[in-house]
Amino acid sequence: MTDRSRRALLAALAATAAGAGLAGCGTRRGPDDPGGPTGGRGTPGSTGSPGPSGAPSPTPSDSPATPDSPATPTPTSTTPCADALSMEQRIGQLMMMGVNSSGATAGQLDILRSTGAGAVIMMGNYGGGRSGVRGVTDEMRSAADPPDGVDLLVATDQEGGLVQRLTGQGLDTIPAAATQAGWSTATLRERAERWGTQLKRAGVDSGLSPVADVVPPEIGNANKPIAANNRGYGSDPDEVAAKVVAVVEGLRAGGLATALKHFPGLGRVTGNTDFATRVVDDTTTADDPLLEPFAAGIAAGSDMVMVATAVYSRIDPDHVAALSRAVIAEALRDGLGWDGVVVSDDLGVAKAVSHLSPGRRAVGFLRAGGDLVVNVDPASVSAMVEAVVAEASDDDDFAAAVTVKAERVLRMKAGRGLAECPAG
């Protein structure tokens, strides 16, 4: 396919996605559908390196672009789910904190309760099987103190291959995406539905997948976060898009919330943002043909899009993507028509954001247009919540944006059977 035809397809997919949304709900599917940090999160260690050009770049700014602007446009409908919550409860719904996969510690459960975090990400590998995982997820839900009518969202990294946190009896061993890519789309969809059903029965609501990154053949295994770990579906955006759609449809049919990652793509970088302080992509643009799998996944009904913590110099040279309005508010929301939940890659321990305080990371991501902050370091969740509460107290526009964001998250939860939301 030529670049021109790819761009035409990308535009068509984006238009389809934009027209498929549920007004004011921030989703791409109807309410009756069944109900990581990532990058190199938990994958074999890799040392950081500069972007494809090899040239050093200045350290990103500590604040997102246009920090005084509202983080998101005002929705066209009301926010009945979020309006029923206090501001502190709304902010809690914007937090996904790390817990141990083998069982949250007493300290982690205390933080979960005290911060009102609305989601957790199970970190570390655990081989207790479906029954063991169910015991862990049940305990966390019993310990949490969510608002009335709202449940805890439990997520983990369950892509397959080296990135499969939960294993054991009742949970299939999932091959790496590079292996899945050799299956027909029908087979991949069928197996993804099986994996989704198994995980849902274990009490997990999202495997934070699929990976939509495209690694060009000239980069290959020099790409540490994706290709070197067999996490991608290939180097052709058309083929990757087809596999992404199959996984999205299959996992959602099995009851899981999906997350396309890592927008706008980690396929052209060499360093890993978990371990490197500066990872740069000097090639990707806001209308790049390699964004096609993200557009296809959006059109297929994905629940979330995860944003990377690399720097994309041709989109915004001054900010990592997760703190960039040019990436989130413009390239993703305006460019691809996405009004669903935007989730961050890890903002807790990733080296790519280590130059910022936890509070500035959280506020920066929300101001840039994000909704759900992933922090695998439970010790810094309270600082993030406090910073967002203070920002909302000082800035009425930001507080209004927080309400819109909480509404998006709650509507997404409602689609997974995790919240009761009135029509609005």
pLDDT in tens, 91-143: 999 999 999 999 999 999 999 999 999 999 999 999 999 999 999 999 999 99
pLDDT-based confidence at 275, cuts 50/70/90?
A: confident
Residue 245: per-residue pLDDT = 98
User: Is residue 18 pLDDT above 90, yes or no?
Assistant: no
**Lowest-pLDDT range, 25-29, 159-163, 289-293?**
25-29
- At 424 the pLDDT is 58
- Within a domain: 71: yes
> Does residue 156 lie within any of the structural domains?
yes
Which residue range(s) make up the domain with 312?
A: 3-415
CATH code of 295's domain: 3.20.20.300
Residue 61 has a pLDDT of 53
At residue 39, the pLDDT reads: 36
Task: Kindly state whether residue 423 falls inside one of the protein's structural domains.
Answer: no
Give the least confident one: 75-84, 162-171, 172-181, 326-335: 75-84
Q: Using pLDDT thresholds of 50, 70 and 90, give the confidence band for residue 23.
A: very low
**pTM metric for this prediction:** 0.85
pLDDT for 12: 42
Mean pLDDT of the chain: 86
Average pLDDT on 31-43 reads: 34
Residue 391 lies in a domain: yes
In a domain, 196, yes or no: yes
Residue 413 in this model has a pLDDT that exceeds 70 = yes
Residue 234 within a domain:
yes
The count of structural domains within the chain is 1
Average of per-residue pLDDT across 390-402: 98
154 part of a folded domain: yes
Structural domain contains residue 100: yes
Q: What's the confidence (pLDDT) of residue 67?
A: 39
CA distance 241 to 260: 11
Convert the pLDDT of each residue in 205-218 to its tens digit.
999 999 999 999 99
Statement: residue 66 has pLDDT above 90? no
pLDDT (mean) for 165-171:
98
